[in-house]
Amino acid sequence: MGAHNGIIKIKSGKLYSKDKILKAGIVLADMNSLKNLDLEDSLDRLDLEKHLKDADFFQTDSFPEARFSLSSITMIQDTTYNAIVHGYLTVKDVMKPLQLKCKIDHAEDAILISVPEFSLDRTQYNIMSVSYTHLTLPTSDLV
């Protein structure tokens, strides 16, 4: 179906806590750092990365950052994760609510938030690109 796996680097972030309890935060993602992780052929990988940065997809020349604004956290009892982070993800100036399970750990003067891999419906962010499969047939197969 054209699904791919990749990463986008965090550009910056600020977390706000009170008494070691996380209250709010803002994380900016560098959309130009987008990297594909599942295509082995370097030319295919570079072509896909260029396509994803172009105007019909993330349009990184006009929207170089995505933003996650953390609005609240619900602590949960789970064997892997201990919280659900509630917030808003903004991509291409479209803001939508987003909830993610995560693991929050506390160190002396630090809070570490581990978020697992997650998927997004790109159409919710006005990314309506249509991908085409290019097929080359031998001339003997043409009718």
Round to whole Å and give the CA distance between 139 and 143: 9
When pLDDT is cut at 50, 70 and 90, the band that residue 131 belongs to is low
> Is it the case that residue 1 has pLDDT exceeding 90?
no
When pLDDT is cut at 50, 70 and 90, the band that residue 130 belongs to is low
Q: What is the pLDDT of residues 76-94, one digit of tens each?
A: 998 889 999 999 999 999 9
> Is it the case that residue 8 has pLDDT exceeding 60?
yes
User: Comparing C-alpha atoms, which of 115, 86, 104 is closest to residue 24?
Assistant: 86
pLDDT at 137: 39
**Between 22 and 100, the higher pLDDT residue:** 100
**Between 11 and 132, the higher pLDDT residue:** 11
User: Comparing C-alpha atoms, which of 119, 24, 116 is closest to residue 78?
Assistant: 116
> Is it the case that residue 41 has pLDDT exceeding 80?
yes
pLDDT at 99: 94
70 in Cβ contact with 24 (< 8 Å)? yes
> Is it the case that residue 59 has pLDDT exceeding 60?
yes
